[in-house]
Amino acid sequence: MFESLSSKFSSAFSSLRSRGKITASDIDQVCNEIYQGLLEADVALGVVESFIEKVKSKSLSALPTLQSGSNQAQAIFDIVNAELIAILGGEARRVRLAKNPPTVIMLAGLQGAGKTTLAGKLAKYFKDLGDTPLLVASDLQRPNAVNQLQIVGESISVPVFAPEPGNGVGNPVEVAKGGLAFARSKLHNIVIVDTAGRLGVDDEMMKQASDIRDAINPDEILFVVDAMIGQDAVKTAQAFKVGVGFDGVVLTKLDGDARGGAALSIAVLTGKPIMFASTGEKLGDFDLFHPDRMASRILGMGDVATLAEQAKKALDGESSARLEEKFVKGEDFTLEDFLEQLEAMSKMGSMGKLLSMLPGSGAMKKQIDNFDESEIVRTKAIVQSMTPQERIEPKILNGSRRARIAAGSGRKVQEVNALVDKFSAAQKMMKQMRNGGGMPPGMALPPGMPAAPRMGKGPSTPPKKKSRSGNPAKRAVEENS
């Protein structure tokens, strides 16, 4: 995701970095490149213009205070980064829970944005947090939307309030009201109301949405929007803002290759935070939206923070601590650790997604998208066919050992070879990351820039680089993330 935008940014900055002394015209040029990149990424024109204007004026006013050398380019980079974070909404915002449960969440959006799937994902998210969500089927328009929600609910064992068959039959306002009453009587603490897709220009349907809103008085109205939306984001967001009003935004289909301009546009145009990101068809493919991390992704810095968080979630406490310790101490990862990770990864979701969070992953975008998930199973089989010693010391793997492993795992010798090669490459990459060179060659980091976003809080945090950002906005984010 976002790789095109991030490659635009990197090329703009790499030319900037090659300059000895940056002049006002260099800044103009970088701004022009960013301007084109943002437009091609579907960022709304007005948003592009105000973004460029801010970056330009901040850069120009910072210029005289900068000494010559590559930290000039870095300072400009920091300005762009801070501006991106500011646009994307500063910090992640969570759902505001009602003082008196249930907390009522209403979803609204265009047809095909992904509301029904999202309803399921949200329900699963809350259920995993220990809440007792109820899904309410108020999309009575689209054929079998009710049915779809029931199937989704069943698959995550969340009850669905669906008194009406849908397909044009029933009153969605009554269903929403009934759902709320039902939730109260059964003590569900979260109510998620799915509604029909509607176009911003459809006054009648917008009225229906505001009627639903008035009937249930939701704590949060979430505007669900497809990450691939184009310039129409301006009109649609405005229509929903006026027509029904919303408190937060959910971006869906972020696992596509849209350049992500919508994220920027919507955040600016609505002034509402993007709260969640939906990144796949599985009900677990869903996460809080972190503006700072998204900015890093756009700038090609990867999203190690999310990666680390997911790893923490999946790995049990003990092995997670052990891995972090290894990472900090600079010990090598062994195939034994690798196997442990593979097992944890199966719990964490798709490998492609994990890989795409690594710094510089834009360059391996194709491979990541095409990652064959069953490869994990096959890889596990190969590693499990090794002796413990082989796992710790892959060097001893000679021809006959490899043949034995191949036979044991039911794979070909070539595959065993490929795995061993890939593993040593991965080992190298880990070392690089640790030593501060996150990105592959060609995207060299300027001095003074952190190798990767920090990995979390507490004692397990790797030693912080001494150079903290000189930009107050960025520093604030660093300290709060």
Partner 1 sequence: MGLFGALVAKLSRSKISDLDWDQARRELLASDIGPALTDHVIEAAKKIKGDDARAGLLSALSELISSKPRGLDLQPPLSVFLIVGINGTGKTTSAAKLAHHLKATGVSVALGAGDTFRAAAVEQLQTWGSRIGVDVISGKEQSEPASVAFDAVQFARDNQRQLLIVDTAGRLHNKSDLMNELGKIKRVIEKIAPVTEVLLVLDATTGQNALTQAKVFSESVGVTGLILTKMDGSAKGGFALAVENHMSIPIKFIGTGEAIGDFQPFDSAAYLSSLLDE
Residues that bind partner 1 (CB under 8 A): 36, 39-42, 45, 110-114, 117, 141-145, 147-148, 150-152, 155, 167, 199-202, 226, 228-236, 239, 253, 255-259, 261-262, 281, 369-370, 372
- Provide, rounded to whole angstroms, the least separation between the CB of residue 236 and partner 1: 7
- Provide, rounded to whole angstroms, the least separation between the CB of residue 23 and partner 1: 26
Q: In whole angstroms, give the CA distance from residue 192 to residue 106.
A: 6
- Provide, rounded to whole angstroms, the least separation between the CB of residue 49 and partner 1: 10
| Contact criterion met (CB below 8 Å) for 239 and 200 | yes
- Provide, rounded to whole angstroms, the least separation between the CB of residue 287 and partner 1: 17
Of the pair 167, 427, the CB lying nearest partner 1 is at: 167
Could you tell me if residue 260 is left (phi over 0), alpha (psi between -120 and 50 degrees) or otherwise beta? Answer: left
Give the H/E segment covering residue 369.
Answer: helix 365-369
Q: What angle do CA 296, 297, 303 make, to 5 degrees?
A: 80
Quickly list DSSP for 372-401.
-THHHHHHHHHHHTS-HHHHH-GGG--HHH
Give the H/E segment covering residue 278.
Answer: strand 274-278
Of the pair 142, 404, the CB lying nearest partner 1 is at: 142
- Provide, rounded to whole angstroms, the least separation between the CB of residue 462 and partner 1: 32
Give me Rg for the CA atoms of the chain. 25
- Provide, rounded to whole angstroms, the least separation between the CB of residue 281 and partner 1: 7
Total Cβ atoms within 10 A of residue 95: 19
Max distance between CA atoms of the chain, in angstroms, equals: 73
3 state SS of 183? helix
With b meaning 16 or more CB within 10 Å and e meaning fewer, what string describes 303-321? Answer: bbbbbbbbbbebbeeeebe
Q: What are phi and psi of 252, to 5 degrees?
A: -110, 170
| 166 DSSP β-pair partners | 169
**Amino acid code (one letter) for 435:** N
3 state SS of 249? strand
- Provide, rounded to whole angstroms, the least separation between the CB of residue 300 and partner 1: 18
The sheet carrying 274-278 orders its strands as 160-161, 133-138, 190-195, 103-109, 220-226, 248-252, 274-278, 286-288
Measuring CA to CA, which residue among 413, 455, 466, 405 is closest to residue 430?
455
